[in-house]
Structure 1
């Protein structure tokens, strides 16, 4: 698929950073790791990845703003456009040698994600989409699953760690959903969870207390693949309130009702 100039820049940058991270992943035991917070580790590789992404994107589009996980936000001359970046989503997986992590880059225009790239270097899978152009993994068009029964569906979520206050709420979600579905997975990278819904690998995904960089790229990819994406709060905005529920059109209403406690 021939993408826009912006999308091509995003994919080229994600591949460049992905190659460097993959090399570091092969030497994971030797990474110099510092602690950023309980259960939330950041590595030299993570910081270097964001610096590389920032340099590449700001060189290509110097007027755009930039928001990344690791550094301070950069206000752009163009207040309507901003890059939103998670240089290494799945950091804990990465540091434990688990091959499930990704580079996530989104372009926001007037408060909405209009292009997204999620690159999994281990599997060499490049999920990408632009608003109105469909969703793809590498060169293959992707669509959400066609399952219409909750009992046949697989869902993904994140679970609180290190004493986070939302543990009881998450356990209640699981208690309601597990008896009604075919299974729930917790793989540790929200961007890939959304991409997997887009590709029909999961039938739905929900999570609370996310950051905008965790889901900006995944939201546009999932929507372009035919998913419904909403906040966990009725009429809320996922990118503003940090919660998301996502599924195909066939099961969304039933699924959302279960996890929202409606």
Structure 2
């Protein structure tokens, strides 16, 4: 099949991504019930489980069976696939591994489709709550088939924010604690969930009003960024420049809060 007709049906790509996410979700639920092995990657706080690997394999197998000339960028295996089509699937099979390993029921599967360097489709599945967030470029954002929209909160005093911390928090001063302390004194509240994909989707759905984080990887934000933008949100880097999933920092908001969040992030101790 030629490059021009490879993804001629966006509905086909969405259907494949949703089916792959649901397969992975079933694996995560089963392994959470039956038990799993845990290894450490680069540090004592950077975990990988048997469930990460099994879910990722199921996603990749399903997507490449449907689109064999596509590429893959996944958290555990890195780059894979042929990428002859100009399309690449960006996959986090278990966003929230530490939560999963501790039996804390807040984690997700994240799948995005990148076409010629732009993420145009996003699927994020919370397998515990059975909440499926989906979005396609120009088609809006959806939660279990219902349209979602960002909040209208316009001051930090009224805002509920979320953030996260990098795995090297113990080894570097660039660990987000300074930003956290400043936002804690400005916002109505701050949450730390442990799943960047769900953080972005919760801002998209109006459950949260803003989110910032440092030292992210492409698979952390690829799908959620599509959902957020299609729900009317705004996402940039800390300096206000257009967001790229290959950058290392992120600030996302409902839009009205964005200038105030950028201002806080620009402050120096």
TM-score, length basis structure 2: 0.91
Measure how far apart 1:218 and its partner are. 0.5
- Among 141, 144, 150, the alignment partner of 1:144 is 150
Tell whether the 8 Å contact from 1:160 to 1:167 is kept in structure 2 after alignment: no
Give CA deviations for 1:114-154 in whole Å, capped at 9, x if unaligned: 00000001000000100000001111110001111110000
- 1:178 aligned residue: 184
Give the secondary-structure state (helix, strand or coil) at the position aligned to 1:233: coil
Report what 2:4 is aligned to.
Answer: none
Does residue 18 of structure 2 align to residue 11 of structure 1?
yes
- Cα deviation, residue 175, structure 1: 2.3
Q: Please name the residue that 1:63 is paired with.
A: 69
Shift of 1:241: 1.3
SS at match of 2:30: helix
Corresponding position of 1:114: 120
- Partners of 1:79 and 1:36 lie apart in 2 by 32
Structure 2 counterpart of 1:76: 82
Per-residue deviation, residues 161-187 of structure 1 (Å, max 9, x unmatched): 554445555121122211111011101
Counterpart check, 1:20 vs 2:32: no
Distance in 2, matches of 1:7 and 1:172, equals 39
The whole-number CA distance in structure 1 between the counterparts of 2:215 and 2:176 is 11
**CA drift at 1:159:** 2.1
Q: CA RMSD in A?
A: 1.8
**Corresponding residue number in structure 2 for 1:251:** 257
**Which one of 91, 98, 101 corresponds to residue 95 of structure 1?**
101
Gaps of 5+ in 1: none
Task: Name the count of aligned residue pairs.
Answer: 259
- Tell me the residue number matched to 2:36: 31
Q: Cα distance 1:66–1:51, how it changes in 2: closer, same or farther (>3 A)?
A: same
Structure 1 residues 199-220: Cα deviation after superposition (integer angstroms, max 9, x where no partner): 0011000001000000000000
